[in-house]
Amino acid sequence: MVKTFTRMAVAGAAVVSVLAVTASQAQAAVLVSNKTISNSHGKMTFIDDGDVFQVCDTKADGHGMTGELVQIYDAGANQVRLTVTDGGDSGCDKKGYNIGNQFNEQYEMWLSWNGGGATVKSERFNE
């Protein structure tokens, strides 16, 4: 009887642990503090302190980088809220945009090399 109870308690604790980890991972996909996406030509970073979006061109190849903050709507008609470009100068370029803290608002960062190729997109996030 004691062994059966112990096994049930251990199994119950394992289930609770799995649920807690799963819930925290799901929440992490929505609420973000700082986030960076990149490709072989540059990167885009969201800096939570001040809601700043920074784009860095990391290759001197004659082409710059463009980063966009896009508000995502499930029904389509996504809307670009901010565009930041960098290239041709030293350092990174950045701009601020308050994404707020509305749970129903979702954003993605999109990063493109101005020389062509695929756009890198972040997972959906909110502050």
Residue 126 inside a domain? The answer is no
Same domain, 47 and 81: yes
Q: Which residues of 67-98 are buried (b: 16+ CB within 10 A; e: fewer)?
A: bbbbeeeeeeebeeebebbbbeeeebbbeeee
Same domain, 65 and 82: yes
What pTM was computed for the model? 0.73
Same domain, 26 and 38: no
Tokens of 97: 């945009």
Same domain, 67 and 5: no
Same domain, 48 and 68: yes
Same domain, 11 and 50: no
Long-range Cβ pairs for the range 78-84 (8 Å, 24+): 81/107, 82/53, 84/44, 84/53, 84/54, 84/55
CATH code for the domain of 83: 2.60.40
Q: What pLDDT does 44 receive?
A: 98
Structurally, the chain folds into a number of domains equal to 2
Task: Give the pLDDT confidence of 39-81 residue by residue, as tens digits.
Answer: 999 999 999 989 999 999 999 899 999 999 999 998 888 999 9
Which residue segment(s) compose the domain that 12 sits in?
A: 1-30
